[in-house]
Structure 1
Amino acid sequence: MNYLPNILFAILLIAGFGYFARNVRKLIRNIKLGQDVDVSDNKNIRWKNMARIALGQSKMVKRPVSGFLHVVVYVGFVIINIELLEIIIDGLTGTWRIFSYFQGFYGFLIGTFEILAALVFISVVVFWIRRNIIKIKRFWSSEMKGWPKNDANIILYFEMVLMSLFLIMNATDLHFQAMNSGNVISQFIAPWFNGLPETTIHLIERAAWWMHIIGILVFLNYLYFSKHLHILLAFPNTYFGKVKPKGQLNNLEAVTKEVKMMMDPNIDPFAAPAAGADAEMPAKFGASDVQDLSWVQLLNAYTCTECGRCTSECPANLTGKKLSPRKIMMDTRDRLEEVGKNIDANNGVFKDDGKQLLGDYISTEELWACTTCNACVEACPVSIDPLSIIIEMRRYLVMEQSAAPVELNNMMTNIENNGAPWPYNQMDRLNWKDE
């Protein structure tokens, strides 16, 4: 018996999954560069959010057309890849469709796979038309030029090819066609190969089989370099997503403690600080680079689907402002990748490259254009929170650089002097009632 194909298959499998595991470790390393944050609360709510949003696609279907097509692709692609288990067993042992032993169930299973494969192919074609011919506006923003645009199309081509190979593999498998069970779609493709010698048809079937498994492994490893990491990260991202009311911003604990101390009449402001007090103060208020953000925010950046729903709902963007929440997430991910490559190139240590997220990637104009309305957070189908990153970078500008806009500085001065945002003396506050 010739074991060479099985050995080659095993090598291919080990190389494919090994490279994927290597990139997953790198991904986890990069995410852990963020600040620690406690997200162990509200576990029941988090599990429900993951089941409802990531698994149930509840926020995707708010836009019915694209939502329905995405559900078809999502369900079809996941279920079809169950067959990967059979392919792996056949490839390692040299068997033929080992699960066909359960013929009745197997026919139902493969028939379902074929129907889903056809639906996925049609849905992906529609996606391609929407993106490249109809040219829906949110797919053609300035941040979507170049690699982001090509990346989206590459994934669509991948899915078309993989679904085609699956159906061709079944259509040219003469033994499978002879079973006449489960070939609900491939039976209509099989006649395309009539008239060819049986050996040629067998070669086509084997080529499609090998190309299908190689394509799956290539697709798996391409995910790390693609926006389609959300296929894997949507689940943890929705679990660790914000569970507090969307309008509730977090307070910096160090600032809260300082304010409480200032308001406590029992504390001597001239007394020496207690031992360890300095250690509680953060090295930096807010964020100017990715290492200053929390690991959940960095997970958000890697999970971004670049679908543009956030930007299409952003009132600042709709009125012509420079802000695009999608770009905020893409810039954060790009900078994080740059930092990760820097660490790889310097033996596991980050070497200052003179760059940071603020300024080199995200401008202050973008940050101050945000109205903090949370429309982007509400629109995101996988619970990404661009607003939290904007807030942290604003905090850095205000608290570290005193670089708030003039209007905001005036407001804060009025609050300090008058106890209100308006430039009126406290004694004159109620004069409006006499007018």
Structure 2
Amino acid sequence: MEYLPNILFAIALVIGIGFFTKNVKKLSRNIKLGKDVDVSDNKQQRWKNMARIALGQTKMVVRPIAGLMHIIVYVGFIIINIEVLEIILDGLLGTHRLFAPLGSLYNILIGSFEVLALLVIVAITVFWIRRNIIKLKRFIKPEMEGWPKKDGNMILYIELVLMFLFLTMNAADFQLQQLNAEHYVKAGAFPVSQFLVPLFDGMSIANLIIIERTAWWLHILGILTFLNYLYYSKHLHIILAFPNTYYGKLKPMGQVNNVEAVTNEVKLMMDPSADPYAAPAEDAPEPEKFGASDVMDLNWVQLLNAYTCTECGRCTSECPANQTGKKLSPRKIMMDTRDRLEEVGKNMDANKGEFVADGKQLLDDYISQEELWACTTCNACVQACPVSIDPLSIIMEMRRFLVMEQSAAPTELNNMMSNIENNGAPWPYNQMDRLNWVNE
């Protein structure tokens, strides 16, 4: 019975990490459904981008209030994990405050953890007010109704509870230290939780131990629960922001990628020595599908983008099409891509790892043509994203499919293309009349 708590803790840890590992494998499989793309170039610049954007949070502080609050939560999350390491070791070894021999350094660590916990509580409160009372416009868009709104609030509630459990655990521990309770060595500084100690006045050592142990268990089990909740939440960006910024686009924003097959066709047409009517070689590969109509037609970086989306809405708030009442929301493009990818993944889970056609696709079933053609390709969404997501690349691939596979471009666009082909300009005037405006 002496080792029962340690055994139970080890079982909880194995289950929690095991389930998380299973979901990570599923996540990796889904992302690898995308086409291969070479992003091995300029590694030095990619590391710099990851350090600057993901670690340094440089694009978050463009909006100072949200940026500052996010940095507090982010730093709190990173640093308090040191405390989590001690809890895990204590749980496995049956010790209490294993790092206490660090002395003054330990006092500084625990004190800084508490200050950060308080700051996180303040930041979370500000975030909740912005979402639910002030109701910032970017948080009440149509795509944020239902689960996305609940998920955003759920994350705030979980983090709030975890911080209060941490402070309650420390407050009870501090009181037990003052009472010279067995096993509760005097260690740590408690600049915040000491103000909760009056709540425990008059309690017996036995009751204080129950409170301290209950808070300790709920805190670590809550962290393991939160870890596994990430896969189902927009907070997956806590993990994916780092690879996503590393693999982010390095080319100038206005540079659109060319389709190799089309480039080769144009080169063939411009080669006077080539026979345009020659039949392709027998061993020539089957022509690839132009553009994308479903998630499997996108590349794996674009699918990584979809899973990394924080649903912050900065892209949509900067989008001129959305600002002028058009249906397009770059955030929705990413959320729809992720939802469809999840649907495909569940299909594979139900069919022993094979995808069985379900009569659905990303185009039309999730993203409408109206949304795609509302885009001005201005790259405002790409510039605004704090974690280097590129919604425009997905929009362009789906447009490419509509034009090159289905000849389904809008009438206005077809007219413009015909005019450019016939008149050398987008307007329906004969080339001989192009300079007539000079006479006026």
Superposed displacement of residue 405, structure 1:
0.5
Query: Which residue pairs with 2:109 in the alignment?
Result: 109
Superposed displacement of residue 422, structure 1:
1.9
Instruction: Name the CA distance, whole Å, in 2 between partners of 1:119 and 1:276.
Output: 65
Tell me the alpha carbon deviations over residues 103-134 of structure 1, each in whole angstroms, 9 at most, x when there is no partner: 11100011110000000011101111111111
Tell me the alpha carbon deviations over residues 22-65 of structure 1, each in whole angstroms, 9 at most, x when there is no partner: 00000000000011111111211111110011000000000000
CA contact (8 A) 1:115 1:185 kept: yes
Give runs of ≥4 in structure 1 deviating > 4 Å: 175-178
Query: Which residue pairs with 1:152 in the alignment?
Result: 152
CA contact (8 A) 2:10 2:92 kept: yes
Instruction: Name the CA distance, whole Å, in 2 between partners of 1:276 and 1:385.
Output: 36
Q: Specify every segment of 5 or more residues in structure 2 that has no aligned partner in the other structure, as ranges.
A: 181-185
Q: 2:340 aligns with which of 323, 330, 335?
A: 335
Query: Which residue pairs with 1:190 in the alignment?
Result: 197
1:33 maps to amino acid:
L
Superposed displacement of residue 367, structure 1:
0.6
1:51-130 pair list within 5 angstroms: 51-130=51-130
2:247 maps to amino acid:
F
Superposed displacement of residue 272, structure 1:
2.5
2:403 maps to amino acid:
V
Superposed displacement of residue 419, structure 1:
2.4
Q: Specify every segment of 5 or more residues in structure 1 that has no aligned partner in the other structure, as ranges.
A: none
SS at match of 1:98: coil
Query: Which residue pairs with 1:215 in the alignment?
Result: 222
TM-score by structure 2 length? 0.96
Query: Which residue pairs with 1:397 in the alignment?
Result: 402
Query: Which residue pairs with 1:252 in the alignment?
Result: 259
Superposed displacement of residue 188, structure 1:
1.1
Q: 1:323 aligns with which of 294, 314, 328?
A: 328
CA contact (8 A) 1:168 1:189 kept: yes
Query: Which residue pairs with 2:33 in the alignment?
Result: 33
* Larger CA deviation: 186-195 vs 252-261: 186-195
Instruction: Name the CA distance, whole Å, in 1 between partners of 2:296 and 2:278.
Output: 34
1:3-14 pair list within 5 angstroms: 3-14=3-14
Superposed displacement of residue 181, structure 1:
3.9
1:30 maps to amino acid:
N
1:283-302 pair list within 5 angstroms: 284-302=289-307
Superposed displacement of residue 328, structure 1:
0.5
Query: Which residue pairs with 2:372 in the alignment?
Result: 367
CA contact (8 A) 2:103 2:187 kept: no
Matched, 1:350 2:355: yes
Instruction: Name the CA distance, whole Å, in 2 between partners of 1:272 and 1:17.
Output: 57
CA contact (8 A) 2:317 2:323 kept: yes
CA contact (8 A) 1:358 1:364 kept: yes
Structure 2 CA distance for partners of 1:392 and 1:98, relative to 1, 3 Å: same
CA contact (8 A) 1:331 1:357 kept: yes
Query: Which residue pairs with 2:247 in the alignment?
Result: 240
Instruction: Name the CA distance, whole Å, in 2 between partners of 1:17 and 1:180.
Output: 30
Instruction: Name the CA distance, whole Å, in 2 between partners of 1:431 and 1:13.
Output: 79
Query: Which residue pairs with 2:315 in the alignment?
Result: 310
2:415 maps to amino acid:
N
Instruction: Name the CA distance, whole Å, in 1 between partners of 2:403 and 2:144.
Output: 31
TM-score by structure 1 length? 0.98
* Larger CA deviation: 223-232 vs 269-278: 269-278
Superposed displacement of residue 373, structure 1:
0.6
Instruction: Name the CA distance, whole Å, in 2 between partners of 1:409 and 1:245.
Output: 28
CA contact (8 A) 2:107 2:189 kept: yes
Q: 2:393 aligns with which of 388, 407, 415?
A: 388
Q: CA RMSD in A?
A: 1.2
Superposed displacement of residue 175, structure 1:
4.8
SS at match of 2:99: helix
CA contact (8 A) 1:170 1:176 kept: no
Tell me the alpha carbon deviations over residues 213-237 of structure 1, each in whole angstroms, 9 at most, x when there is no partner: 0000000000000000000000000
1:195 maps to amino acid:
G
Instruction: Name the CA distance, whole Å, in 2 between partners of 1:16 and 1:105.
Output: 31
Superposed displacement of residue 180, structure 1:
6.6
Instruction: Name the CA distance, whole Å, in 2 between partners of 1:176 and 1:258.
Output: 79
Paired residues, number: 433
2:106 maps to amino acid:
Y
CA contact (8 A) 2:106 2:187 kept: no
Instruction: Name the CA distance, whole Å, in 1 between partners of 2:438 and 2:109.
Output: 75
Superposed displacement of residue 390, structure 1:
0.5
Superposed displacement of residue 185, structure 1:
1.0
Instruction: Name the CA distance, whole Å, in 2 between partners of 1:176 and 1:346.
Output: 57
Instruction: Name the CA distance, whole Å, in 2 between partners of 1:271 and 1:166.
Output: 74
Q: 1:229 aligns with which of 233, 236, 247?
A: 236
Instruction: Name the CA distance, whole Å, in 2 between partners of 1:47 and 1:248.
Output: 22
Instruction: Name the CA distance, whole Å, in 1 between partners of 2:148 and 2:198.
Output: 39
CA contact (8 A) 2:176 2:209 kept: no
SS at match of 2:235: helix
CA contact (8 A) 2:315 2:382 kept: yes
* Larger CA deviation: 292-301 vs 415-424: 415-424
Tell me the alpha carbon deviations over residues 372-419 of structure 1, each in whole angstroms, 9 at most, x when there is no partner: 111111111101111111100001110011110011000111122122
